[in-house]
Each structure stands twice: as C-alpha cells, then as structure tokens.
Structure 1
Amino acid sequence: MSGIYIHIPFCKQACHYCDFHFSTSMKKKDEMVLALAKEIQMRKSEFENDPEFSGVETIYFGGGTPSRLQIADLRLQMDSIYKNYKVAENPEITLEANPDDLSEEYLIALSEIGINRLSIGIQSFFEDDLQMMNRAHNSAEAKKCLELATQYFDNISLDLIYGIPAMSNEKWKQNIETALSFGIPHISSYALTVEPKTALNKLIQTGKIVKPKDEVAQEHFEILVEILEANEFIHYELSNFGESTYFSKNNSAYWLGKKYIGIGPSAHSYNGSSRSWNVSNNSVYLKSIHENKLPSEVEILSKTDRYNEYIMTGLRTMWGISLYKIELEFGKEYLNYLEQHLQKFIDNGLVSIENHILKTTKKGKFLTDGIASDLFYLNI
C-alpha cells in the first residue's frame, strides 16, 4: 500500500495545546495551493521508480485545518494526484475538518470531488472545555456538523481529548456517549498533552490552568476502552477505535510501515529505508518550490532506527510485534536484546507473547509508549 499525505498549513486560530505547523494568516493561501499541486507533480518519480508500487491507495488531507480551503483548492490537489500517479480503484480519501467549516453546502461539494472519509476535530462537546483549549467552534456547532455530515458521509471519524483538567469521569462518559449517539463508526482519542512551546504550557506555568494529571488521563482511557468495546468498537491502535470495516487505511499503513509521500511544509515521507521531511516554514517552502527545489532533509535509517520504529508502531497496534520478523529482518542480536528487556514487563503483566507475537495486555495498554521506549535498542 502506498499513500499521499498533504499538509494544509492554515488554521482559523491557534488551539492552546497544538504544536503542529500552521499559520493563522491566509494571505499566502493561493500561492500555497499552487505550490502543493506542483510538489505533487515534482515527486511522482518516487513512486514511478518503486517496483513495489501498484497505485496510490490512500490520500489524506491533514494539517493545520484542511477544511479552511475552498473546494476548488482541494480539487486542484486531487487533479494533480490523478494526473501524475496511478491511483488504485476506490482509494480512501480523507479530509480533516473542523466543525465550524462543515456547512451543508461544503459537505455536499466534498463528496462530489471524491472525498469519502471525514476526520472531524470535535475534541469535546462541552463549552468550557472548548474555550479552555481555544477551539474555533462551539458545542452547538459540534453537534450540528455531525447531524449534517452523517447525511452525506458514511465513513466518519471524530477526535476526542481526555485528561482535560477539571473533567470528571461522568463528563467524559457523556462526551463518549454523545459521539456514539450520532452513529459514528470511528473514534480517535488522545490524552491532553502539554508540549513545550504551546500556549497551554505557558498557561500552566502562570497558574491559569491546572496541569493535567496522568492518573486522571489513565482513568479516562480505561473508561473509553470499556465503553467503546461494549459498543463493538475494535481497539486496533492505542488511540484509535473503529467498527470492523472502518479502520483508517491511511493510519494503519503508517503503523504497519508502508511507504508514503508527504506534501507541503513540515510533511514527512517514508520509503522503507529513509525518512524525509519538508521545511516547517511557509515562506521558505514556497520559495523552494517556485525554484523547482524540494525543501526537504533526508535521513537514511539505520537497522537500529528501523528496529526502534517497528517496536514503537507495532506495540501500539492490535497486530503487535512479530518475534519472527525481529529475527528475520534485524537478526538474533536484536531478538535477544528484546527478550532480555521484556522479562520485567511480562512479570508485571504488562505485555504477553502468544504465537510469537508480542502485545501489551489490557493492564499495560495505557503505558504502551513508555514500554516501547524501554525496549528500544541502544547503541551503548
């Protein structure tokens, strides 16, 4: 499977917790739209020269806020992809969107240009939470957009954030139940994380917002798992839950180590042996594309890099980590290292091995990222 990710670096306003690359100014929007389409064309040889390439199977508009673009802007990107790449039949084409952008007219137009999956940034259905996070939409808009979106789209995911200061367990349950009441088949949910250079971090340091507590986040996570599994959602990745036929193909490909091209400022790409990333600066990106240069840096991944990435991504998924694959692709040394460092987690009931597949247990699930980092191969 191969995919194309397109980073749209514009937002209406800055959410307090966000550290992604974006601009709240739309002055360079038209220039950026043209540059994105041009980069798509400039990079077509990356898939053309890949003997394993059989067609683009996923197209993902992320950001930023892709729904800030007009339909003509999105259509231009789609046209550039179809003109320059072989696209598989019935590809998954996802657009990330904010509730305040999803008018009925816009939703209909999205479906008409080929978008067939929406990822909607709800985050919470409560007004005080949305204000604390500085979200651009309100609670009424969150509910209204889902009423409309479900009329025109079957494949919808929504985002919810847990571990918010002052959010009680009962309030968190209401958020989940409200999401389920719209018949949404996929939910992505993340703990509120305090990143260093965000407004949230500054608000916490100045005492205006209470720092999120890990124990509260863990309790919310366990509630989330319990409710969604009771509603027949499959917990297929640490932060992702879907009905059986609604897993994100784009994200699953990433976790399973498939190849993808990242278009736009700050976007990352992966070809199996190296990773590259575009500059996180709109002006520099635009200048470079105008000069027919790719504004990217490339890192050739060592065997240890690839092993550590497999540990991190594999442990987060329901498919787990294949010990056979560890030995086959990385060698006995890496397998021995893994087995030696696993024992304490097995003894504590945090991970298990069955049929040579390593997975976290229910007890260890919330601690997945910490466990994975302890299993990384260190060149010491």
Structure 2
Amino acid sequence: MTGVYIHIPLCFAKCDYCAFYSEPVGQGAGAVRRALVDGLLREMDARLDGKERVGADTVYFGGGTPSLLEPDQVDRILGVLRERLDIAAGAEITLEMNPRDLSAERLEAYRDAGVNRAVLGVQTLSERLHRIIGRSCPPCTGRELDIFFGVPGITHCADLIAGIPSQRDDELIHDIDTIAGYGAAHLSVYLLTIEHGTPLWRRMSIDDKAESLQKRHFEAARARLRGLGYDHYEISNYARTGFESRHNMKYWRFEPYYGFGPGAHSFVDGERYFNPMTLPGYIGPTQLPHVKDDRGPGSVTAEYIMTGLRLLRGISLGEMERRLGVTLPGEVMERIRKAVEEGSLVLEERDGDNLIRLSERGVIFSDSVIFSIVEHLL
C-alpha cells in the first residue's frame, strides 16, 4: 500500500535551526491556511482524478506546523483522500503539533476528524536551551504535557533535540525521563544539525568539542531509552513495541508514497516527482506543476542504501538488486567489506544473500560510514 504525505509549509515564526521550506505567517495565518487547503484539494483532485484507486495505509501531516490547520480543515483533506484512495481500516494518520497550538479540545477535534497519531515538537524542556537554538515558541511545560498525553484514543509521540552546545547530560536525561514518564509510545531524538544559511549557522558552528558532546548524548539517549523499554529501530527513533512510525518506514524501505503541497516529493511506480512551487505560487494558479526527478541507476542504488541503513535491522543486498534491477558494483562491495573490517558495519551471509546493517559503533558515525559506502555511486 502507498502512503500519503501532506506538506503544510506554515509556521507562526521560523525557528533559527530550521532549514525546511516553510513560510512564517504569525497572526495572519487564517487567510493563508484557507488558501493552502484549497490548493491541496485542487492538487489532490488533479493528480488522482481518473487514476486507478490504490490503497493507502498511512497519511502524514508534516511541515512547517500542521497544527496551524483547523481540525475541520484536516477533516476536509482526509475526506477528499477517502474519495480518491482506498484508505485502509486502521490506517496510521499522523499530525505534527506545536505546543503553542495545543488544547484538549483541539486535539480531541483532530482525533474526531481521523487523526490517530500526534507528534509533539517538544525539542527541549529547558528555557535556556530554547534560547540557544532559537526555538520560536515558548518551552513546553507540564501543563502542555498534561493536556497532550491526557487525550485518549490517540498514539502520543514526541520529538527531542540532543547535542545542543552547553546542554548538560542531566538536562537531556531529564527530558527523556519526563516524556517517557508520560507514556510516550514513540520518541525521536535528533542531534542538533546546524544547516547552512540558517540563523543558527550564522552564529554557531559544530567544533570538535561539540562533536564529542553529540557522540556522548547519542550514546546516553540510546542507553536510557533502551533501559526504559524502547526499541531503537532507526538511527534517531525509538518506539514501544508495535508503535514504530509506519509512514516513515515507507521512506526507509523504499516504498511508494504520494506527496501533496508546495515542495512535497512523491515516489510512485518507481519514479520520483516533486512540486517545485513555493507557497505564494501554489495558492494562486489553476495548474500545478509536477516535475519528474530523474536519477541514474547509481543514484537510485545509493539512495536505497542510504535510507535502508538508517534502519538498525539493515538491508538485504539481494532484495535491493532484484527490486532495482541492478548489480551492485564490485567497488561498493569492497567498501562494504572494508567497513566490516573497521567495525562500522555487520555483514551476514544467509542463503546466498548478503545482509548488511550498521554496528553499534557504526550507528554513532552513520553519516560518514554510509557515505563511504555509496560515494562511488554518486
């Protein structure tokens, strides 16, 4: 089955560390979000009209700040999707939320519209660290956590940021223990990335001291969450058994998904497409461009390895070759064996197939390990 990604590129104010495409709308969100929803419905009708109905088992509202949409607007979008696609019973329908937008009534209305999984962007509970990274909304407090985790009938998830310069180990563990203590089914712990061109990049850099902090925090978060009973199933993601993100698994497993909204990407019938429009253009025209993202066999193979190795269970090289219709170049296999010798990768030979996954050490240095393997393909 396919997945569906709905991109909501709106935010109240841009955070200093954010490099994702979004437009800050402040108090004037009402008219813009109405126009955005109209554009989304128009795009869904245009792209799905006349197509054979396919099954979908995940819908993900990402951004930006999807919780700027009113619940009835989320309901309209899901209604059109149900008209155009066969949304499976028990489909995972996820909405990212900002603590600024949180109320019990609002979350209950999202649930009643069909949302059954919510991700709260906590990032850090520390007001001091909020200021350091330039988080645009006030820190999440016990009041917001009580509201969020107190609404039944929904899977509660949260995002945290680790490895923030000057962040103490006890501050990170406090955040993890607090969120886990509320019964979160899923926790994402992302190491702070300083993206080129962001306000944070203009005033901060990652030096050797910061890299050492990030390594320590990655190991500390992994140990704590495993000790609390969470499964570390993807580099930055931890879940209670059965609560892994089914939608995000589609990206890592190279499975199909539709993407709607300005800047959204799709992977349909083995081909990648994207909508190159920014918000001002998207909400205006009657025609919406949908551009094919052409990639050579080497780039596709590299992407398969790069995304698949994010899962701690790794990938089957034989399955990859069958699905992509390629033969893995000998040089790439040599690089894989070198990573195994260095202790960064685990290679298992089973029934004539090669299975590879990151080692405990390799997970910590995943970016450089994976790049060393696929560099020849790029």
On whether the aligned pair clears a TM of 0.5, the verdict is yes
Matched, 1:30 2:34: yes
C-alpha separation between the residues in 2 aligned to 1:47 and 1:118? Answer: 30
1:67 Cα shift? 0.5
Which amino acid is 1:371 matched to? Answer: V
> One-letter code of the match for 1:263?
F
In structure 1, the residue matched to 2:302 is 308
Partner of 1:368: 366
Partner of 1:145: 144
1:329, CA displacement in angstroms? 4.3
The aligned amino acid for 1:122 is V
The answer to whether the 8 A contact 1:119-1:159 is kept is yes
Which amino acid in 1 is paired with 2:306?
Answer: M
Answer yes or no: is the 8 Å Cα contact 1:21–1:280 preserved in 2: no
For 1:324, the equivalent position in structure 2 comes to 318
- Where structure 2 has 5 or more consecutive residues not aligned to the other structure, the ranges are none
Closer, same or farther: CA 37–329 of 1 in aligned 2, 3 Å: closer
2:71 counterpart residue number: 71
CA contact (8 A) 1:96 1:118 kept: yes
Deviation at 1:30, TM superposition (A): 1.4
| 1:273 Cα deviation after fit | 2.5
Cα deviation, residue 376, structure 1: 1.2
Residue 218 of structure 2 is matched in structure 1 by 221
For 1:120-139, list aligned pairs within 5 A: 120-139=120-139
Letter in 2 for 1:149: F
| Aligned position for 1:233 | 230
Contact 1:37 1:77 in 2 (8 A): yes
Q: Which 5+ residue runs of structure 1 have no aligned equivalent?
A: none
Superposed CA offset, 1:280-317 (max 9, x none): 411122233xx2x2223212333212211111011110
Q: What amino acid is the match of 1:38?
A: R
The equivalent residue for 1:95 is 95
How far apart in 2 are the matches of 1:46 and 1:305?
Answer: 32
Rounded to whole Å, the distance in 2 between the matches of 1:324 and 1:34 is 44
Asked if the contact 2:4–2:259 (Cα under 8 Å) also holds between the matched residues in 1, the reply is yes
Q: What amino acid sits opposite 2:146 in the alignment?
A: E
Structure 2 residue identity aligned to 1:248: S
Give the superposition deviation at 1:333: 4.6
RMSD: 2.1
Deviation sequence 1:137-186 (CA, Å, 0-9, x none): 333x4432221222224411100001101001122111111111111110
For 1:334, the equivalent position in structure 2 comes to: 328
Q: Aligned residue for 2:278?
A: 281
How big is the shift at 1:56?
1.1
Counting matched residue pairs gives: 369
SS class of match (1:200): helix
- Secondary structure at the counterpart of residue 138 of structure 1: coil
**Residue 28 of structure 1: SS of its match in structure 2?**
helix
CA-CA distance at 1:379 after TM superposition: 5.6
- How many Å separate the matches in 1 of 2:52 and 2:215? 45
Q: Is the 8 A contact 2:302 2:377 kept in 1?
A: no
